Structure 1
Amino acid sequence: MKTYIALLRGINVSGQKIIKMELLRQALAELDFDNVSTYIQSGNILFQSTILDPKKLEKQIHDLIEKHFGFDVAVLVVTPDDLKAVVAKNPYADENIEEPQPYVAFLSEVPAIENIAVLSAMDFQNDRFQIIDKAMYLHYAVGAGTTKLSNAVIEKKLKLTSTARNWKTVKKLIELSEAIGK
């Protein structure tokens, strides 16, 4: 059994695509997953599976959510090692940023250089980002709530799927994933 974390994009945000985590866990019982749990309402699912292809897992979870809740929800599946690598590669680590809290956007694929150039050419005032592999490290000068560097802009300009989490959540997901199956 391999441990995974599924990151759902855009659920339970501003009254949109409301999915109660208890009902989601119940629905996930249909899939051949073990040790299923969720963390906070923004759509973080921890589980174990014998399936080794994250894309197959993404499709299974996507289709299950559509069937049970009627929502087309993007799903990105990562491993605990993926999350640890994201933390280890944080280009802002030496800056000791605490407020506002840094974020990382998980990308469905490594973005094309020309798409990164398009996004980089935009003016986001004092908001900054760096892309390393399939992670986009975000530092919002004032906070995520007022930025023009939104997930919608990221997806449109990079031409891929993205879902962001703050550092507190990323670190908690690592902690929780390490406890699975013990």
Structure 2
Amino acid sequence: MTIYIALLRGINVGGHNKIIMAELRSSLEQLGLHNVRTYIQSGNILFESGEIEELLQKIIHEKIKEDFGISSDVVIRTAEEIQQIISHSPFSDQEISEAKQSCKGECLHVAFLPTAPSKVNSDKFLSYTSDQELSVINGRDVYLLFYDSIRNSKLGNNIKKLEVPATVRNWKTLMKLSSMVEEVKHKKSE
């Protein structure tokens, strides 16, 4: 069985698309997903399955639509992919440290895409970078570093230029998901 992380787009944001995480876990367990866990209310789901990513994306999307009446994009990564995203951050410790000093809120984020954007759309999006808003696209993952804030940033507001659905998570959330993966692995090895 593979450990997966499903990231839902637009769940429990600004009072919209409300889903109680206990109900979501129960709903997904009905699909045959194992060891379903959630982190905070924004649709971060860790689970185990023997199915492939594409099928999981589809059945989770349909189950949420059926049970909650919400059509949310579902982006999935394996536990190993999450670890690689964390270990391959394109920003130096110095860049992150400098951004943290001036940023209002979290400075480092990753936008997760179900498929890689085209070169044309990537170039369009990257044209919004500046010395205060940095981005690196690595396949289906878009690293974002803000020296001010993701709110009202040109990069944050133009992710749609990639023309691929995206859901963004801050680094703190990624680190928590990574530690949850380690807990699951540890329990399996006992």
Q: What TM-score, normalized by structure 1, do the two folds share?
A: 0.91
The one of 113, 118, 125 aligned to 1:112: 118
Within 5 Å, give how 1:27-176 maps onto structure 2.
27-51=27-51, 53-95=52-94, 97-98=96-97, 99=100, 100=103, 101-122=107-128, 126-150=132-156, 153-154=158-159, 156-176=160-180
Check 1:102–1:123 CA distance in 2 against 1; reply closer, same or farther (3 A cut): closer
Higher relative contact order (CA 8 A, sep 6+): 1
Check 1:63–1:124 CA distance in 2 against 1; reply closer, same or farther (3 A cut): farther
Q: Secondary structure of 1:58's match?
A: helix
Q: Secondary structure of 2:128's match?
A: coil
Aligned-pair identity (%): 38
> For 1:81 and 1:175, how far apart are their aligned partners in 2?
12
The residue type equivalent to 1:74 in the other structure is D
Question: Greater helix share, 1 or 2?
Answer: 2
Output one character per residue of 1:104-150: Cα deviation in whole Å (capped at 9) or x when no partner.
11121122111111112236672111111211110122112232322
Give the unaligned 5+ runs of structure 1: none
> For 1:75 and 1:95, how far apart are their aligned partners in 2?
33
RMSD of aligned alpha carbons:
1.7
CA drift at 1:60: 0.8
Q: Secondary structure of 2:154's match?
A: coil
The residue type equivalent to 1:95 in the other structure is Q
> For 2:82 and 2:5, how far apart are their aligned partners in 1?
9
Q: Secondary structure of 1:138's match?
A: strand
> For 2:15 and 2:130, how far apart are their aligned partners in 1?
26
> For 1:124 and 1:157, how far apart are their aligned partners in 2?
16
Q: What TM-score, normalized by structure 2, do the two folds share?
A: 0.87
